[in-house]
Structure 1
Amino acid sequence: MKKIALRKKDLINSKKGAALITVIMVLAALAVLTTAIITMAYVEAMQAKTQHDFTKASFIAKSGAEIAASEIMSNFSHYVENTPPPDSNIALDDGAFDIALSVMRPPAVSYDTIIIKSTGLYSESSKTLYLELTHDAGGTLIKTWHKADPFP
């Protein structure tokens, strides 16, 4: 039996070698593309896990005033910083806004009330607090912290 020695030069210059290199390059490109798609899907899943899609909910306040969902998110830090939490010894954590937020609409209450449930918002990561946003008859925003779900 004759041994065939493949040299790099022969492989590149032959038709079979060129086809083999093409196949390898196509497979490598597919691997890169698949990895990119999986990475994008993973990133989207993580974003969905840590951010609530506030566009799906409508928030209606009393007196015809309306709080837009985007306004709640953009001003959430303002609401938190200017509303003392129920435990004065809990300090606001620097990574407070990397947490998962969810909006709950209590079934027994009208949609005039917004409850933002936050877990890990303060330095005690296991603590869950509820920030209630509502309006009085004059349209003034009322912010109330709860240690437990106000609408269980």
Structure 2
Amino acid sequence: MSVSLKYAVVERERRYLLASLPEELAETPETAEAVEIVDRYVDGTRLRLREVRAADGTVTRKLTQKVRLGDDAAEVACTNLYLNDAEWSLLSALPGRGLSKTRYKVRRDGVVIVVDVHADGTTVAEIDGSDGPAVTVPAWLDVVRDVTADESFTGAGLAQPAG
């Protein structure tokens, strides 16, 4: 099946399991650019509901579809629809699995890395993978291993049954 990319943004990311937070976050997390994210992966679909809460109290809600362009989650076409309160209320009643995390953007040495700290303590860094598998991982990241192709470290893989 061919995938139309007319309304999608192609994301190419490499994901790494971290043993610890980058030093900047461990020492002064309150100065980092952070948002709280609650995801709900709708059962039986490629759809995700996401609520993002910024430090200033701003809430953004959206419905996302991610379509894989290859054999794993390293390259996906991502389409977002922004939702009002009524749409959010209706769609969030769908059966699904949930995931809560704090997302930080770390800027260092000219590189921006997204670090997600999940409610269970799992810490995953995402690095733009536009250069393919030869992504340069900064030495200051405490990487355990590359989990880009590991389904258990995708958002859907980490999500738990909604309670």
| TM-score normalised per structure 2 | 0.25
Whichever structure has more strand as a proportion of its residues is: 2
Structure richer in helix, relative to its length: 1
TM-score, L = length of structure 1: 0.27
